[in-house]
């Protein structure tokens, strides 16, 4: 089983750079192209819990769909925000990296270095 997973969008420079940092440090992570294969509700909830932030903190507020769906409404519940990310994976911020040492939204990409396993 691979010990590192990255939720990756190859069009995103932060995501590409985080993946490159992992590889430069000798890791070949499981690469999840989340736009093609979005996480399940349970996986997304686990990611949110593991990062220690809210669903809103893992959302891309600059996406047009964010405004179209009124996701800036502060009264929306975590479940409503999760529903939106599941229906529109483009709303997930990236890259999200999972290692045995933690889960992080790696923006900037260098944050991945904080959670690399030690050898």
CA dist 101 and 55 (Å) reads 21
Query: How confident is the model over 35-45, as a mean pLDDT?
Result: 97
Band of residue 119 on the pLDDT scale cut at 50, 70, 90: low
pLDDT computed for residue 1 by the predictor: 46
Share of the chain above pLDDT 70, in %: 97
Q: Of 6, 113, 107, 17, give the one whose Cα is nearest residue 59.
A: 107
From the candidates 5, 12, 53, 56, which is the catalytic residue? 12
Q: Break the chain into its structural domains and give their ranges.
A: 5-115
Report the predicted TM-score, pTM, of the whole model to 2 decimal places. 0.93
Q: Note the pLDDT of residue 118.
A: 77
Q: Is 106 a catalytic residue?
A: no
d(CA 106, CA 119) in angstroms, rounded, equals 21
- Give the dihedral sign, CA 31/14/80/84: negative
The answer to whether the CB of 92 falls within 8 A of the CB of 60 is yes
Answer yes or no: is pLDDT of 45 > 70: yes
Question: Residues 46-71: what's their mean pLDDT?
Answer: 97
Question: Which fold would CATH assign to domain 5-115?
Answer: Glutaredoxin (3.40.30)
């Amino acid at each position: 089983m691979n010990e590192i997973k990255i939720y990756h969008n190859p069009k995103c420079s932060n995501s590409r750079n985080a993946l490159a940092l992992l590889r430069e440090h000798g890791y070949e992570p499981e690469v999840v192209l989340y736009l093609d294969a979005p996480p399940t509700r349970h996986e997304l909830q686990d990611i949110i819990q593991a990062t220690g932030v809210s669903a809103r903190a893992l959302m891309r507020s600059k996406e047009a769909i964010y405004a179209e769906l009124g996701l800036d409404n502060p009264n929306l519940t975590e479940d409503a925000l999760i529903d939106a990310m599941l229906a529109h994976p483009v709303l997930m911020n990236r890259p999200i990296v999972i290692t045995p040492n933690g889960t992080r939204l790696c923006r900037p990409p260098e944050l991945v270095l904080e959670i690399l396993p030690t050898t």
